[in-house]
């Protein structure tokens, strides 16, 4: 059984695999393990994963067989376990709780491709809809306080399977990153009376230098204090705290903006490794309407080292203004057919 | 000129290289650049570095020539620049300041070796003394609020030069990690009336399972909520906030404990990549006597991915209890001669 442990000094939770821990020897074998012969996420190999939790499939096709377009399965090596109460136990100065949580894999295509950028916009739309559906489903479990949805693409970004997929971890606490964001948003609102993210959208739209794509409902830009080269955020222009409440037309535009952004990023640097992180309000507690949900795309060209780990500060060798320009230039280099075209109409990105 | 930029939501500072930014093309060349022909840190190549700032040398030898044992030079590609006022400028929602700071490289041996673990204890002692000397010197500059000293060993830990060295970055603000630690220590003290680190030392000494080495003045253990496999901390047993005030006998024992710990870590997993981070109290402000200085050694066998970056939480596949046992076993496998022997006496680690 795994265990959540809390650092006694700072608000930092760690999932410790107490059950099947890795000894020094296991780390020496890492390279070997990467050479997987058969991909368990490919269409036709459904029996190689644990039983399916959810899927969008052609009517009449059976669970755990071909016919799906997006498929959700439990992580075969979950960091957390579904059973157990999320009750804090104190052991002297230390606090811990059982490793309660849910760890799911969202398979984003039937085909063995590494990136979401090569998928049609309609497919990306189904992926985002599945994120929403799983969020709505899992927050009915009152033990969970945050549903974390993310993607690791490329080895440097921590992907252990090449086949295009995202992950979901339901957690029994609000993690520090989200708590600190909420705190920052509250402080800003108290001081200025407005949402800092809404104000950022206004300033970015006016200044233009960091804008990558300006849609009707979403703004895509490289943040002023980008931690990583080519870091790119996508924000709904409307103040919305809850990704779970995304509307159909927003979902459609988001799919197009996200797909095209990933295309630009991978065009700028070939095989760019990146993490994609959905930031949304916590669940099952006082609603945090103050929050402004968004997506952060974090390319992993630099290594987080002793400076970053020790201070929480970052060194970014690519100014976001230069990154945005490079991404806009990358868009120019792509063929119109490459970009999000839906029903003959250019996607929001290409048209503006 | 580089620039410090602050995230408008959370307390996160980023150094942006606004002057000589890296375009997409530069990242494609990373592999090429690693193949350095001549090591600028080796004895005899002193002219390849910027002029020496400080050194421990044989009497009569000249600056920027052989004869040194530990040598400090400016980083050739500094993340920050010494000139400039540390004054905050507001640009709409965003805050920034000029990239004020100091970025130094401490060359830890004349010989081209990658790790501090292969150095004699006396050499490690001189390295630690140099860290102290630089800290004491740089805090005289009132612009600086924190002196961050760290080591990156191995590519996965962000080392760009193989030759054994550490780095120092003097910063015009107290970084979030240190600020959050101080906050946590304050909260604990208010609640319990004692120092959380002192209480941890008491509990670890009693429980023993996570202890790697128990010296007279220092305790070395794997923290209860270890973020990384084989993460190891070294704490002075006495409550001391300021590393700069380290006494001669403490410096001597710390050298021995640190050298032997690094030996165990690299014996457990060959070529273990790791960061070493010195955590000490801020400088030039209300003294933070509440702080308890310590060293964190962070092996980098796992990749920080979308879970870690999005939540600030970690998944650690090696329980610290198992890590401590592996490190103690690794010590057994080392020859007595390998370990810290000083004047015929076994070092604190081996003797206890």
**Residue B232 near chain A (CB below 8 Å):** no
- Which band of pLDDT confidence, cut at 50, 70 and 90, is reported for residue A72? very high
As a whole number, mean pLDDT of residues B41-65 equals 97
- Which band of pLDDT confidence, cut at 50, 70 and 90, is reported for residue A33? low
Q: Considering only CB atoms, which chain B residues are within 8 Å of A9?
A: 181, 184-185, 188, 196-197
- Which band of pLDDT confidence, cut at 50, 70 and 90, is reported for residue B34? low
- The answer to whether B300 and B157 have CB atoms below 8 angstroms apart is yes
A&B contacts, CB < 8 Å: 289
Token code pair at residue A268? 């700028």
**Residue A88 near chain B (CB below 8 Å):** no
- Which band of pLDDT confidence, cut at 50, 70 and 90, is reported for residue A77? confident
Predicted local confidence at residue B17, as pLDDT: 85
Q: Is A40 a residue whose pLDDT tops 50?
A: yes
- Beta-bridged to residue A147, according to DSSP, are A170
**Residue B24 near chain A (CB below 8 Å):** yes
As a whole number, mean pLDDT of residues A256-264 equals 97
What are φ and ψ of residue B96, in 5° steps? -150, 170
Half-sphere exposure in the Cβ direction for B237 (13 Å, CA)? 15
Nearest CA in chain A to B4: A225
Q: Is A350 a residue whose pLDDT tops 80?
A: no
A241 catalytic? Reply is: no
Predicted local confidence at residue A338, as pLDDT: 57
**For A139-282, where are the alpha helices, taking DSSP H only?**
176-192, 196-207, 248-268
Predicted local confidence at residue B346, as pLDDT: 37
Q: In chain A, what percentage of residues exceed pLDDT 70? A: 91
What are φ and ψ of residue B98, in 5° steps? -65, 155
**Residue A316 near chain B (CB below 8 Å):** yes
How far is it, in rounded angstroms, from Cα B120 to Cα B338?
9
Predicted local confidence at residue B327, as pLDDT: 96
Of B155, B32, B27, B307, the closest CA to residue A301 belongs to: B27
How far is it, in rounded angstroms, from Cα B118 to Cα B124?
10
Stretch 239-298 of chain B: residues touching chain A, C-beta under 8 Å: 268-270, 275-279, 296, 298
Per-residue model confidence as pLDDT tens digits over A133-185: 999 999 999 999 999 999 999 999 999 899 999 999 999 999 999 999 999 99
- The answer to whether B112 and B43 have CB atoms below 8 angstroms apart is no
In 3-state terms chain B splits into helix, strand, coil percentages (rounded to 5) of 35, 25, 45
- Distance (Å) from the alpha carbon of A131 to chain B's nearest alpha carbon: 15
Are residues A11 and B227, on separate chains, in Cβ contact within 8 Å?
Answer: no
Q: Is B312 a residue whose pLDDT tops 60?
A: yes
**Residue B90 near chain A (CB below 8 Å):** no
Name the residue with higher pLDDT: B27 or A49: A49
Are residues B312 and A180, on separate chains, in Cβ contact within 8 Å?
Answer: yes
Q: What is the DSSP string of A50-112?
A: SPPSEEEE-TTPPTTSS-EEEEEEE-SS-SSBS-S----EEETTEEEEE-B-EEEEEE--SS-
Helix (H, G, I), strand (E, B) or coil at B93: coil
Predicted local confidence at residue B285, as pLDDT: 85
Helix (H, G, I), strand (E, B) or coil at B165: strand
Token code pair at residue A219? 């703004």
Q: Judging by beta carbons within 10 Å of its beta carbon (0-12, 13-18, 19+), is residue B36 exposed, middle or buried? A: exposed
**A39 belongs to an annotated ligand binding site:** yes
Mutate to test the interface with A, among B5, B6, B9 (most CBs of A within 10 A): B9
Range B58-91 burial, b when 16+ CB lie within 10 A, else e: eeeeeeeeebbbbbbbbbeebbbeeebebeeeee
Token code pair at residue A293? 């949900």
How far is it, in rounded angstroms, from Cα B348 to Cα B352?
6
Nearest beta carbon to residue B306 from set A196, A200, A275: A275
- The answer to whether B200 and B233 have CB atoms below 8 angstroms apart is no
- Which band of pLDDT confidence, cut at 50, 70 and 90, is reported for residue A286? confident
Per-residue model confidence as pLDDT tens digits over A217-256: 999 999 999 999 999 999 999 999 999 999 999 999 999 9
Predicted local confidence at residue A19, as pLDDT: 66
Mutate to test the interface with A, among B6, B31, B93, B165 (most CBs of A within 10 A): B93
Read off the DSSP letter of residue B181. Answer: H
How far is it, in rounded angstroms, from Cα A7 to Cα B225?
5
Are residues B21 and A319, on separate chains, in Cβ contact within 8 Å?
Answer: yes
Are residues A11 and B322, on separate chains, in Cβ contact within 8 Å?
Answer: no
Of A204, A209, A194, A176, the closest CA to residue A292 belongs to: A194
Q: In chain A, what percentage of residues exceed pLDDT 90? A: 82
Q: Considering only CB atoms, which chain B residues are within 8 Å of A161?
A: none
- Beta-bridged to residue A89, according to DSSP, are A96
Q: Is B175 a residue whose pLDDT tops 50?
A: yes
Cα distances (angstroms) measured from residue B203 to each of A130, B125, B190: 46, 29, 19
**Residue B152 near chain A (CB below 8 Å):** yes
Q: In chain B, what percentage of residues exceed pLDDT 70? A: 91
How far is it, in rounded angstroms, from Cα A331 to Cα A262?
10
Q: Considering only CB atoms, which chain B residues are within 8 Å of A102?
A: none
Per-residue model confidence as pLDDT tens digits over B99-137: 999 999 999 999 999 999 999 999 999 999 999 999 999
Token code pair at residue B307? 């879970």
Q: What is the 3-state secondary structure (H, E, C) of A265-298?
A: HHHHCCCCCEEEEEECCCCCCCCCCCCCCEEEEE
Of B351, B18, B95, B335, the closest CA to residue A315 belongs to: B18
Q: Is the dihedral of CA B300, B301, B304, B307 positive or negative?
A: negative
- Spatial neighbors of A351 by CB under 8 A, at least 6 apart, are A345
Q: Is A344 a residue whose pLDDT tops 90?
A: no
Q: In chain B, what percentage of residues exceed pLDDT 90? A: 82
Q: What is the DSSP string of B298-349?
A: EE--S---HHHHHHS-EEESS-HHHHHHHHHHHHHHS-GGGS-EETTEEPHH
How far is it, in rounded angstroms, from Cα B146 to Cα A289?
36
Predicted local confidence at residue B238, as pLDDT: 98
- The answer to whether B313 and B307 have CB atoms below 8 angstroms apart is yes
Largest distance between two CA atoms of chain B: 65
Are residues A318 and B225, on separate chains, in Cβ contact within 8 Å?
Answer: no
Read off the DSSP letter of residue A162. Answer: -
Q: Is B342 a residue whose pLDDT tops 90?
A: no
Q: Is A8 a residue whose pLDDT tops 80?
A: yes
Beta strand B345-346 with B341-342 is antiparallel
- Which band of pLDDT confidence, cut at 50, 70 and 90, is reported for residue B276? very high
- The answer to whether B70 and B85 have CB atoms below 8 angstroms apart is no
As a whole number, mean pLDDT of residues B41-68 equals 97
Predicted local confidence at residue A207, as pLDDT: 97
- Which band of pLDDT confidence, cut at 50, 70 and 90, is reported for residue B338? low
User: In angstroms, how far is the first alpha carbon of chain A from the final one?
Assistant: 52
Cα distances (angstroms) measured from residue A313 to each of A112, B95, B168, B236, B290: 37, 15, 14, 26, 23
Q: Is A60 a residue whose pLDDT tops 50?
A: yes
- The answer to whether B281 and B287 have CB atoms below 8 angstroms apart is yes
Q: Is A346 a residue whose pLDDT tops 50?
A: no
Q: Is A113 a residue whose pLDDT tops 80?
A: yes
Q: Is A348 a residue whose pLDDT tops 50?
A: no
Read off the DSSP letter of residue B100. Answer: B
Q: Is B32 a residue whose pLDDT tops 70?
A: no
- Spatial neighbors of B64 by CB under 8 A, at least 6 apart, are B46, B47, B49, B51, B52
**Residue B56 near chain A (CB below 8 Å):** no
From B103, B165, B241, B294, the catalytic residue: B165
Name the residue with higher pLDDT: A233 or B33: A233
Q: Is B162 a residue whose pLDDT tops 90?
A: yes
Where is average pLDDT lowest: A64-78, A108-122, A220-234, B338-352? B338-352
How far is it, in rounded angstroms, from Cα B131 to Cα B114?
19
As a whole number, mean pLDDT of residues B328-347 equals 62
Q: Considering only CB atoms, which chain B residues are within 8 Å of A296?
A: 310
Mean per-residue pLDDT over chain A, rounded:
91
Mean per-residue pLDDT over chain B, rounded:
91
How far is it, in rounded angstroms, from Cα A277 to Cα A147?
11
Predicted local confidence at residue A34, as pLDDT: 53
Predicted local confidence at residue A176, as pLDDT: 96
Predicted local confidence at residue B336, as pLDDT: 64
Domain range annotation of chain B: 3-351
Where is average pLDDT lowest: A285-294, A303-312, B36-45, B340-349? B340-349
Q: What's the fold here for domain B3-351? A: HIT family, subunit A (3.30.428)
User: What angle is formed at CA B112 by the lines to CA B108 and CA B118, rounded to 5 degrees?
Assistant: 65
Mutate to test the interface with A, among B131, B303, B324, B327 (most CBs of A within 10 A): B303
What are φ and ψ of residue A70, in 5° steps? -130, 135
Predicted local confidence at residue A36, as pLDDT: 59
Nearest beta carbon to residue A21 from set B178, B315, B317: B317
Predicted local confidence at residue A351, as pLDDT: 34
How far is it, in rounded angstroms, from Cα A252 to Cα A95?
43
Predicted local confidence at residue A37, as pLDDT: 75
CB atoms within 10 A of CB A94: 18
- Which band of pLDDT confidence, cut at 50, 70 and 90, is reported for residue B20? low
């Amino acid at each position: 059984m795994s265990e959540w442990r809390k650092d006694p000094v700072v608000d930092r939770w760690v999932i410790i695999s107490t059950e099947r821990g890795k000894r020094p020897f296991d780390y020496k074998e890492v390279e070997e393990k990467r050479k997987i012969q058969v991909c368990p996420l490919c269409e036709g190999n459904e029996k190689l994963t644990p039983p399916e939790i959810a899927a969008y499939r052609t009517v009449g096709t059976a669970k755990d067989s071909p016919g799906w377009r997006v498929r959700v399965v439990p992580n075969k090596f979950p960091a957390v376990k579904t059973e157990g109460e999320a009750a804090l136990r104190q052991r002297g100065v230390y606090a811990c709780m059982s490793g309660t949580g849910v760890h799911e894999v969202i398979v984003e295509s039937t085909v063995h491709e590494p990136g979401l950028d090569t998928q049609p916009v309609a497919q990306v739309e189904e992926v985002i809809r599945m994120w929403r559906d799983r969020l709505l489903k899992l927050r009915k479990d009152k033990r969970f306080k945050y549903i974390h949805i993310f993607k690791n693409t490329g080895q440097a970004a921590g992907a252990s399977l090449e086949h295009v997929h995202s992950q979901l971890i339901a957690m029994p606490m609000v993690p520090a990153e989200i708590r600190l964001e909420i705190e920052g948003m509250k402080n800003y609102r108290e001081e200025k009376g407005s949402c800092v993210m809404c104000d950022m959208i206004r300033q970015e739209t006016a200044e233009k230098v960091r804008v990558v794509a300006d849609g009707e409902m979403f703004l895509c830009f490289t943040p002023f204090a980008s931690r990583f080269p080519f870091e790119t955020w996508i924000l709904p222009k409307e103040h919305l705290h809850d990704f779970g409440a995304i509307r159909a037309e927003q979902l459609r535009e988001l799919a197009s903006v996200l797909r095209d952004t990933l295309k630009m990023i991978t065009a700028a640097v070939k095989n760019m490794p990146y993490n994609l992180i959905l930031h949304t309000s916590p669940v099952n507690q006082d609603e945090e309407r103050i929050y402004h949900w968004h997506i952060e795309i974090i390319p992993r060209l630099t290594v987080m080292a002793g400076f970053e780990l020790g201070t929480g500060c970052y060194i970014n060798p690519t100014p976001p203004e230069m990154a945005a320009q490079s991404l806009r230039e990358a868009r120019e280099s792509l063929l119109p057919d490459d970009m999000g075209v839906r029903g003959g109409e250019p996607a929001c990105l290409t048209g503006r």
